[in-house]
Amino acid sequence: MAFQPYTPKPATDIFTTYETDINRRECRRVVPMRVLALGLGRTGTASLRDALQELGFKDCYHMMSASVENPPDCLMWSDALAAKYDGVGTFGREQWDQLFGHCQAICDWPCVAFAKELIEAYPEAKIILTTREVDSWHASTMKTVHWRATEPELKLAAKVDWAASMYQPMISKFWQNFWEGDFEKNGKRRFKEYYAEVRSLVPAENLLEYKMGEGWKPLCDFLEVPVPSKKFPRTNDTDGFVGRCRKRNRMQMLNGLFRYTVYGGSLAAVVLGTTFTVRRLLSSNNRSLW
């Protein structure tokens, strides 16, 4: 059972033209799943995504895939979260293939909430676990994704924008459940528990633990691909995160404002036109009576 019905992107969303509008519930797998990168967000997952795509693992799924690139993906993530945390419906290999059947790799949240399920669904995939020192990770996440998942401005955008209306409830539900209701208090403990769980699920020969700064070689050796000549990518720094999110909020609010202006103006025109026509008819009828 779908948690939220799909609705097409409004034609009035002119400030976020980069978004695609694909209903993943109608998709299927078209490429093999080769890599599950199951490190928590803020451990270099955006950089790893770019690196994997440079190495030929295309596409690589990331939170940006749902939050920015194709917002209807959030509907299936909401389905998955409802199945996992609320026991509503089912979500298995068939649904994962619908959601990222176009991808050869996945990383970042909310994928990490389903590490066990994804490892079981794709036993042939190699597992990469990006990690970092827990205190610096927690501080980075507090300033970025925790802020994003709880900020009032995003909730406001969700009331007026097509994409935000799907993303905000999904990220909020994921964040509350994964961190047991309190990231600030439970984040470090859950970090340690999560990494221990993934290590226990994966044979050592199929697992690469990786830290940003180690470069191409350990990654390429593990994936059995040539080392590129270009520099290893560095993406999604903490300093620019809030600014990028606020800019997106503004664009989404402009979408809503423009939609209400267009529809409100159209309605006003219809009302005025109808009023004018009725008045003409009444005036004409009154003249005929005399």
In-domain check, residue 3 = no
In-domain check, residue 219 = yes
Contact present, 111 and 48 (Cβ < 8 Å) = no
Total domain count, the chain: 1
More confident residue, 290 or 98: 98
Residue-range definition of the domain harbouring residue 39: 24-289
Sheet holding 35-37, edge to edge: 60-61, 105-106, 35-37, 126-130, 207-210
In-domain check, residue 7 = no
The tens digit of pLDDT for each residue in 6-62 reads 999 999 999 999 999 999 999 999 999 999 999 999 999 999 999 999 999 999 999
Contact present, 84 and 113 (Cβ < 8 Å) = yes
In-domain check, residue 262 = yes
In-domain check, residue 6 = no
pLDDT confidence of residue 262: 87
- When pLDDT is averaged across residues 171-184 and rounded to a whole number, the result is 98
Q: Please provide the average confidence, as pLDDT, over all residues in the chain.
A: 92
Residue 41 CA to residue 205 CA, distance in Å, equals 24
The CATH number of whichever domain residue 41 belongs to comes to: 3.40.50.300
Q: Is the pLDDT reported for residue 2 higher than 60?
A: no
In-domain check, residue 224 = yes
